[in-house]
Structure 1
Amino acid sequence: VQIVQLKGGISHSQSNTYAYEVVELFSEAFSTVGRYLPLPVMFDTVQIKELIEKDKHIKKILDLGRQANIAVFTVGTVKNDALLFRLGYIDKKDKDIIQTRAAGDICSRFFDVQGNICDKELDERTVGIKLEELKSKEKRILVAGSQRKITAIKAALKGEFANILVTDQYTAEELLKD
Structure 2
Amino acid sequence: MVKAIESTEANGIEVVQLIGGLGQTAPVLQSFEFSKQLANKFNGTCHLLHAPGITSKKEIADSLKKDKEINRILALGKDVDIAIVGLDALWRHRSLVQVENLSEDDLRTLEDKKAVGQTCFRFYDIRGNICDENLNERVIGISLDELKEIDTVVGIATSLDTIEAIEGGLRSGFLDVLISDEKTVDEIIVRQEDLISNGVK
Q: 1:49 & 1:84 partners in 2: Cα distance?
A: 25
User: With structure 2 as the length reference, what TM-score do the two structures score?
Assistant: 0.82
State the number of aligned residues: 177
What residue number does 2:59 align with?
A: 47
Partner of 2:3: none
Aligned partner of 2:19: which letter?
Answer: K
1:21 corresponds to:
33
2:165 equivalent to 1:147: no
Task: State the Cα distance separating 1:6 from its structure 2 match.
Answer: 0.4
Give the Cα–Cα distance (whole angstroms) in 1 for the partners of residues 133 and 187 of structure 2: 31
92, 110, 130: which one pairs with 1:98? Answer: 110
| Paired residue secondary structure (1:86) | coil
Mind listing any 5+ residue stretches in structure 1 that lack a counterpart? none
Pick one of 159, 168, 171 that aligns with 1:158.
171
Partner in structure 2 of residue 76 of structure 1 = 88
Measured in 2, the distance between the counterparts of 1:133 and 1:142 equals 15
> Quick one: distance in 1 between partners of 2:129 and 2:96?
19
Q: CA deviation at 1:80?
A: 2.8
Tell me, what secondary structure is at the counterpart of 1:105? Answer: strand
Instruction: Give the TM-score taking structure 1 as reference length.
Output: 0.92
- Fraction of identical pairs, as percent: 30
Contact 2:160 2:184 in 1 (8 A): yes
Moved more, 18-27 or 78-87: 78-87
Evaluate the alpha carbon distance shift between residue 83 and residue 156 of structure 1 in structure 2; reply closer, same or farther with a 3 A threshold. farther
Q: What's 2:123 paired with?
A: 110
- The one-letter code of the counterpart of 1:42 is I
What is the rounded CA distance, in whole Å, between the counterparts of 1:27 and 1:85 in structure 2?
24
Query: How far 1:102 moved relative to its partner?
Result: 0.7
Cα distance, 1:161 vs structure 2: 1.8
Distance 1:116 1:164 in 2: 19
RMSD over aligned CA atoms reads 1.8
AA in 1 matched with 2:52: P
Which letter maps to 1:66? K
Q: Secondary structure at the match of 1:40?
A: coil
Matching residue of 2:42: 30
Q: Which runs of 5+ in 2 are unaligned?
A: 1-12, 193-201
Cα contact 1:109–1:130 (8 A) shared by 2: yes
Structure 2 residue identity aligned to 1:31: N
C-alpha deviation, 1:143, in angstroms: 1.1
Q: CA deviation at 1:88?
A: 3.8
